[in-house]
Amino acid sequence: MEDPPPEFPPMERPPGDVAIAELFKAHRLGLVRFAFLLVGDQETAEDIVQDAFAAVHHRWSRLADHDQLLPYLRTVVLNGCRAVHRRRVIARRWFGVEREVPFWSAEVQALLGETQREVFAAVRDLSRRQREAVVLRYYLDLSEADTAAVMGISRGTVKSTVSRALRKLAEKLEENR
């Protein structure tokens, strides 16, 4: 009779893998929505968020404060969105490519009411910085200090940027009525 196979201790996953997996489960969808509002298409938003999680995993041993992973991820996602916008501007400038981003899929139109579509369209028409500030501040419900930290700007700049953006949104939405 054969000896039973040796029992090996269960493989333990490194603590970084566990923390990132839990963070992914809890916040991936919100981060994809955040990126979607900034770049305008689902596929690019998902790629940005996936790249952000991969970057955090790759840099795990060099991250100083593992308790601050979510703010760090938000910053990485925001920077990924900015990189996409830069690439789009360069493509437009050099190649005359005006890539129309398919912002409203049939599924999105079916799920959102007309008012929400108008608000999202108005937010999309804001400047990049204003859109980032409004989405971070009101969509993700971050404080002014947290918004400033993610964007890498001062709290006063967040206040003035959001104030101007809200004024523009009010004007745009009033025009549509």
pLDDT at residue 81 is higher than 90? yes
Model pLDDT, residue 92: 81
CB 135 within 8 A of CB 166: no
The CA distance from 25 to 43, in Å, is 19
**Looking at domain 104-177, which CATH architecture does it have?**
Orthogonal Bundle (1.10)
pLDDT at residue 165 is higher than 90? yes
Tokens of 55: 């970057």
Task: Calculate the alpha carbon distances from 162 to 86, 137, 138, 146 in Å.
Answer: 22, 8, 10, 14
* Mean pLDDT calculated for residue range 147-155: 95
This prediction's pTM: 0.76
pLDDT band at 7 (very low <50, low <70, confident <90, very high): low
**Hey, CA dihedral for 46, 47, 49, 53, is it positive or negative?**
positive
